[in-house]
A and B are shown apart, each in its own frame.
Chain A
Amino acid sequence: MTKTGFVIANLFHKKTRTWLTLLSVVMAFVLFGLLQSLNLVFSAGADFVGATRLVTQSRVSFTQSLPMRMVPEMDAIPGVRSVMYQQWFGAVYQDNPQIFAFAVDPERLHETYPEWVMPEEHWNAFRDTRTGMIAGKLLADQYGWKVGDRIPVQSNIFPQKNNSKDWEFELVGIFDGQDEQWRRQTAGSIYINHAYFAEAALFGGGMAGIFVLRLEDPEMAESIAALVDERYLNSSDETKTQTEKDFQVGFIKQLGDIGMIVRWILFAVFFTLLLVVGNTMAQSVRERVPQFAVLKTLGFSDNSVLGFVLAETLALCLIGGVVGLGLATALGAVVAQAAGPMLPIAVDARVWMAGVVAIFVLALVVGLLPALRARRLKIIDALAGR
């Protein structure tokens, strides 16, 4: 019998118990996978956004609009490659308020966000169609929109000059992300033409919510940010400029202490799991004391007996953990589908990595005490049942 075979055979020494323990481990890792992915949404979030862009907002808060006269002033700053402005439109489509619609200058959007991929003729159409609108691929898929459709959208902020909050736009393009993470961002995105918006809206046309500055060199981010903020210091429109990544992280942090709660649950789950598996292993070793004595009598060293017990724990945690994380991956996809763009969770490689670390830590913590006990075992005492 090989050593691996021996470990497996020992593991199923008590079938019911091993199966039940395995199932608890599976459940714990299903939770671990889902909660860790949620945790990532709240903690890191925006790693894929490079440092090549700055976001300038009003110092009061980003809901306070800034005047458009700042655009040429920012264009003139050395080191700034292009400037984009956007105004939050407050769109609601068929009672779905989870739509991120912004009024933008099409050409400036194209220059500032090369990550959005769309055929050049669609970019041109967006530029040339005053009532045009482009939508993210995932959003367009969700509602079955096709280029050429006329889409009725309500704004919960801006009425048109006739006092009606019902707007209609022509879909002239559908944009995709350059990679998987950017594609995920297209789930709720709409852009409309700022020139048309400014003319048709009853108020708010001369303002923009934030400015996005694409830099020639990310190294200059800090100095340019300071330059912008200094320029508007003590004016009635003081600004706060930060990298796009910090801006995104700040956005997620607004959700507040949810991340902390998730960490507490993770801790509770893990602690519970530790006890369950730890106890099973201890019990299993206790019952097999005479067997270990026999092993030692046969000439196995103290260390290889320790190795057997540790390997058994590891096998248990590994099988349970991998199955659990696998289930979590499937479940996570279902949850993400149901929750929509507000909760972009995904049990991805980062979660798996954390999961694998957790598996090994768990195996070591719960296996070590019983393993040491088996190692210390004196043959005579054990065989005599003392």
Chain B
Amino acid sequence: MLSQIIAITGLNLRSIPQRWGPSLVIVIGLAGVVAVFTALLAMAQGFQATLKDAGRTDNAIVLRGGSGAELNSGFGGDSADLIKLGPGIRKGKDGRPLAAGEIIVITELFKKGETVNGSNVTLRGVEAASFELRPQLEIIEGRMFKPGLREILVGVGVTRQFAGVELGQVLRMRGSDWTVVGIFEAGDANDSEMWADLDTARSAFNRGNGVSGVRVGLESPESLAVLEEALTADKRLTVEVLQEQAYYSAQTGQFRAMVSVLAGVVTLIMALGAIFAALNTMYAAVATRSREIATLRAIGFGGFPVLVSVMIEAVVLAFLGGVVGAFIAWALFDNLSVSTLGQSFTQVVFAFQVSLGLVMAGLVIAVVIGFIGGLLPAVRAARLPVTTALRTQ
């Protein structure tokens, strides 16, 4: 039995080059399905990773109660000072509690090649501790800004997507000119921001001594509860305390859900189309070889080996298509840098991530489609009435 299967399958597969046209339909159909599936999910995955990596479990963000996002939050400098004295905050290099008041100002930049509609980009006013709280962040070009001067650092993601933010260029915001003196890279959502000195930014944007939120380093991830309890009990404050990683991860939910639904619907509809195409091709393959199959049956080959051989052919072609599709998705989209509106109403720059897991999932889909597409034609091939088939032209 096994030797029969191998013999017929070998015969089928070796004859594929003689009938490339119809077989190509399966390959290309499946390549399309897998490429679209992989690319869409690579986008969702890249977005999620970019935001998740931006947060640490031993950092916390303190916002005005009920704000949910830094953009909506804000309180006075006196509240910020109280927060920094809270329990559970670890000491920084200078021996003081590691905590930074930060403000968020949304600015508009033009995407490269765009001249009419600006996109929102976060400008963050930061303190020295802000850098210590994000050890992954490095200045890769230029230098640090000097406090008191209107100088800014620009994230590497911003330089990829937006115009006018090269080293040395001047940005005009609210009647004041800011010079780009450095470019930083953190490998996460921080790369979508521009940073300036807190006090300089506050005076330029009329923010008095207020901050949007306070970012603190915790002694340990468990200290979150200690800090939260102390701050919420303080009658002078109305704040919420969020773990940094949870804060960023929460922003990915909506986008991920949207892209996943899109990927699901598109893949399902395309897969149905591909199944019909595969059925078509395999029926045609069986029909053109009906005499050959009948001859095999006449000289003693069983129906089951014939069935299996047709199935294998369909699955092999589908798998081949899946590999091509995954390769196309990888070649075109892997590491492709794009940006979209994040939940804080500013652009998040992120890159597609075509991971091995996604490619495997795509290949599994391809094989399943090949299996379904091959099944009915295979059954027909196995049931072919030998005598009539031998007589047909």
Contact = CB atoms under 8 A, between A and B. Distances in A.
B280 interface: yes
Nearest to B108: A61
Interface string A223-251: 00000000000111110101000100110
B117 interface: yes
B250 interface: no
Contacts of B117: 246, 249-250, 253
Contacts of A147: none
B301 interface: no
A275 B24 contact: yes
Interface in A257-276: 257-258, 260-261, 264-265, 268-269, 271-273, 275-276
Nearest to A31: B269
A257 B348 CA distance: 11
Interface string B143-160: 000000000000000000
Contacts of A159: 64, 66, 238
Interface string A319-348: 000000000000000010000000100000
Contacts of A250: 116-118
A23 B341 CA distance: 37
Contacts of B340: 255-258
B276 interface: yes
Contacts of B174: 58-60, 64, 236-238
B22 interface: yes
A21 B276 contact: yes
B352 to A, nearest CB: 9
B66 A156 contact: yes
A260 B338 contact: yes
Interface string B100-113: 00000111100000
Contacts of A24: 273-274, 276-277, 280
Interface residues of A, number: 58
Contacts of B303: none
Interface string B120-149: 100000000000000000000000000000
Contact of B40 (A261, A269, A276): A261
B286 to A, nearest CB: 11
A21 B283 CA distance: 12
A203 to B, nearest CB: 8
A272 to B, nearest CB: 4
B119 A165 contact: no
Interface residues of B, number: 60
B106 A276 contact: no
B327 to A, nearest CB: 14
A16 interface: yes
Interface stretch (A106-114, A173-181, A277-285, A360-368): A277-285
B65 A254 contact: no
B341 A16 contact: no
B36 A20 contact: no
Contact of A156 (B28, B72, B120, B269): B72
B68 interface: yes
B120 A61 contact: yes
Contacts, number: 158
A60 B66 contact: no
A17 interface: yes
B108 A60 contact: yes
B265 interface: yes
A256 B341 contact: yes
Contacts of A23: 272-273, 276
A329 to B, nearest CB: 14
A86 interface: no
Given A254-B347, A268-B35, A61 B72 contact: no
Given A60-B108, A256-B339, A156 B69 contact: yes
A23 B280 CA distance: 11
B66 A165 contact: yes
Given A255-B340, A265-B36, A165 B276 contact: no
A253 B276 CA distance: 37
A27 B119 contact: no
Contacts of A276: 25, 29, 273, 277, 280
Given A163-B238, A283-B284, 20 more contacts: A27-B269, A27-B270, A60-B108, A61-B108, A64-B174, A165-B65, A236-B174, A246-B117, A249-B117, A256-B339, A257-B340, A258-B340, A261-B43, A272-B29, A272-B32, A275-B24, A275-B28, A275-B29, A276-B280, A283-B22
Sorted nearest first, the 4 A-B pairs with minimum C-beta distance are A250-B117, A27-B273, A272-B32, A257-B338
Interface of B: 21-22, 24-25, 28-29, 31-33, 35-36, 39-40, 43, 64-69, 71-72, 105-108, 114, 116-120, 173-175, 205-206, 238, 258, 265-266, 269-270, 272-274, 276-277, 279-281, 283-284, 332, 338-341, 345, 347
14 contacts: A61-B118, A63-B106, A156-B69, A157-B67, A159-B66, A250-B118, A254-B341, A254-B347, A257-B338, A268-B36, A271-B28, A272-B273, A275-B24, A280-B280
